[in-house]
Amino acid sequence: MTRLAVPKTYKLYIGGKFPRSESGRVYPVATSKGVFLANAAQASRKDARDAVVAARAASSGWAGATGYNRGQVLYRIAELLEGRRAQFVDELRLSEGLSESAAQRQVDAAIDVWVWYAGWADKYVQVAGNGNPVSGPYFNISTPEATGVVAIIAPQESSLLGLVSVIAPALVSGNTVVVVASERAPLAAISLSEVLATSDVPGGVINVLTGSAAEIAPWLARHADVNALDLAGADELAGDLTWIDLQIAGAETLKRVLPPESGVPTPSVERITFFTETKTVWHTKGII
């Protein structure tokens, strides 16, 4: 006798909680062969705004934590992912139609990307900062720090690795993020949220929306409390909207905008520093 499975209800992840979309909408997610998998929440403008509020509220705590602390929290995510490896492999096989080994490679890469970025949290300042030899009796130092709230359109393909490859670098410096998951394959993003919720990442640091990027992204691009946009997965939006429209919308509040790229972004320190601001502090020196 086979056991009747208990399917999971996939919801949004906002402010450390798992709400349904306030709009009450869902959309069906299917396997690559068209078999129904689940109903994912279809996030609305209001959900996006709630997510930005949560991200802003979490900003000072996360940015104010030490790099060492952030590094450990990010590393902890990798530890938890490793323990749930089989679940993610199954999910990717079903939702992306991957072979067992391809799904394993993606999960392993996602875990390794977390580990790689986690190690940067207490180092990138040394690489990107500078002591400046000014011509006068001043102590002068430039250090990068988080830009604030980063709104991200995750890559459509490689739904777990793509997601990790865009959120991890933004988190390293202390940004908080609102990410729109792969529209076609959103389930891994919500399962990742369950990992995040049981890790040490404070609620609101990472907020995950599922639904239509073309619908949600313009609200994020225009939102005055969003500091930067990562349009990694915005090269093929539904309808007439293009990523350039989003960049133009972001110009109103002078957002920092990272344009789309094809495929999964390669891990790089530039992805960390792009979402930072360089602060230069001058202090007078006594003349002894």
Among 4, 136, 239, 288, the residue binding another protein under the rule CB under 8 A is: 136
Which of 113, 154, 170, 217 binds another protein (CB under 8 A)? It is: 113
CB of 23 to another protein, least distance (A): 30
Identity of the residue, 11 or 255, whose beta carbon is nearer to another protein in the bound complex: 255
The string of DSSP codes covering 19-49 is PPPTT--EEEEE-TTS-EEEEEE---HHHHH
CB of 84 to another protein, least distance (A): 17
Say if residue 81 is exposed, middle or buried (CB neighbours under 10 Å; 0-12, 13-18, 19+).
buried
Task: Determine which residue in the list 21, 106, 193, 207 makes contact with another protein, applying CB under 8 A.
Answer: 106
Name which of 2 and 284 has its Cβ closer to another protein: 284
Binding to another protein in span 235-274, by CB under 8 A: 242-244, 247-248, 250-254, 256-261, 263-271
Separation between Cα atoms, residue 162 and residue 153, nearest integer Å: 10
Q: Token match 């929290």: residue?
A: 73
Q: DSSP letters of 257-278?
A: EEPP-SSSPPP-HHHHHHTEEE
Type of residue found at 118: A
Applying CB under 8 A, does 109 fall inside the site for another protein? yes
Supply the minimum distance, in Å, between the C-beta of residue 153 and another protein.
Answer: 13
Q: Is 282 in the site for another protein (CB under 8 A)?
A: yes
Helix axes 100-118, 67-83, angle to 10 degrees: 160
Q: Any residues with CB less than 8 A from the CB of 27 and at least 6 apart, and which?
A: 39, 40, 42, 211
Residue 152 sits at the vertex; the CA angle it makes with 183 and 159, to the nearest 5 degrees, is: 40
Nearer Cβ to another protein (238/251): 251
CA–CA dist 175, 100 (Å, integer): 34
Q: How many residues bind another protein (CB under 8 A)?
A: 63
Question: Do 160 and 188 meet the contact criterion of CB atoms below 8 Å apart?
Answer: yes
**Residue 252 CB coordination number (10 Å):** 10
Q: How far is the CB of 78 from another protein (least distance, A)?
A: 12
User: Does residue number 184 form part of the binding site for another protein (CB under 8 A)?
Assistant: no
Kindly state whether residue 98 participates in binding another protein, applying the rule CB under 8 A: yes
Residue 45 burial (CB count, 10 A):
15
Candidate segments 98-106, 170-178, 189-197, 205-213, binder of another protein by CB under 8 A: 98-106
Pick between residue 21 and residue 276 the one whose CB is nearest to another protein.
276
21 contributes a contact to another protein by CB under 8 A? no
> Residue type at 268?
S
Q: What is the helix (H) or strand (E) element at residue 143, kind and residue range? A: strand 138-146
Site string for another protein, 197-236 (x = CB under 8 A): ---------------------------x--x---------
Residues that bind another protein (CB under 8 A): 96, 98, 102, 105-106, 108-110, 112-113, 116, 127-128, 130, 132-136, 138, 140, 142, 147, 157-158, 161-162, 165, 224, 227, 242-244, 247-248, 250-254, 256-261, 263-271, 277-284
